[in-house]
């Protein structure tokens, strides 16, 4: 069994990393589990524990999707939270894509549903999770910091492939191994 998901890989540039590390530094006294930059991705479909024989079905579906797509650009910008202002759970960077990413996600979910992998219950909200909040000691400082980064422009990049990743859960955080990639 392999813990699998389909995603778009995000490779941050220097400007992106500068903003990210500045945010981390400003919130270093808080109990936040930060996502390692090498693990940044946009999940299109989480498969979970998957048997080896199903990987070929996933590969076929993702290859079919990629064969009809054209590259498109996304902008990673803005900072926000999931959860309430008083009980935030996740820090994210937003994604602006002119609808292409939502279309890709919908196409992926539909194709994988037809291949026997049930659709996710949640609506697709394009975002990049950068931190998971465990506990805050100074909520006012946290809110002020998020507000300072709210309109940050991090980077623009071209999306031209889908990755199939295997997730290995480790005590110091997940490690993602590329199983396959599908260029378009």
Active site residues: 41, 127
Q: What is the pairing mode between strands 127-135 and 175-183?
A: unpaired
CB 14 within 8 Å of CB 169: no
Q: Cβ(151)–Cβ(65) under 8 Å?
A: no
Q: Provide the sign of the torsion angle of the four alpha carbons 11, 14, 20, 21, taken in this order.
A: positive
What are 100's two structure tokens?
């292409």
Give me the phi and psi of 22, to 5 degrees please.
-65, -45
**CB atoms near residue 129 (< 10 Å):** 16
Residue 80: CB partners within 8 Å, gap ≥ 6?
91, 92, 94, 127, 146, 150
């Amino acid at each position: 069994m392999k813990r699998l998901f389909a995603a778009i890989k995000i490779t941050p540039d220097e400007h992106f990393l500068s903003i990210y590390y500045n945010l981390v530094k400003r919130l270093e006294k808080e109990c936040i589990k930060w996502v390692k930059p090498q693990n940044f991705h946009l999940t299109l479909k989480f498969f979970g524990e998957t048997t080896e024989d199903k990987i070929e079905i996933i590969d076929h579906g993702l290859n079919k999707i990629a064969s009809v797509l054209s590259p498109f650009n996304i902008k990673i910008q803005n900072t926000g939270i999931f959860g309430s202002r008083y009980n935030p759970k996740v820090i994210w960077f937003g994604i602006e894509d002119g609808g292409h990413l939502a279309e890709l996600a919908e196409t992926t979910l539909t194709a994988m549903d037809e291949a026997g992998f049930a659709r996710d219950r949640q609506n697709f909200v394009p975002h990049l999770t950068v931190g998971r909040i465990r506990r805050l000691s100074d909520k006012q400082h946290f809110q002020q910091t998020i507000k300072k980064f709210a309109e940050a422009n991090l980077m623009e990049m071209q999306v031209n492939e889908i990755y199939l990743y295997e997730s290995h859960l480790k005590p110091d955080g997940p490690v993602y191994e590329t199983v396959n990639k599908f260029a378009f």
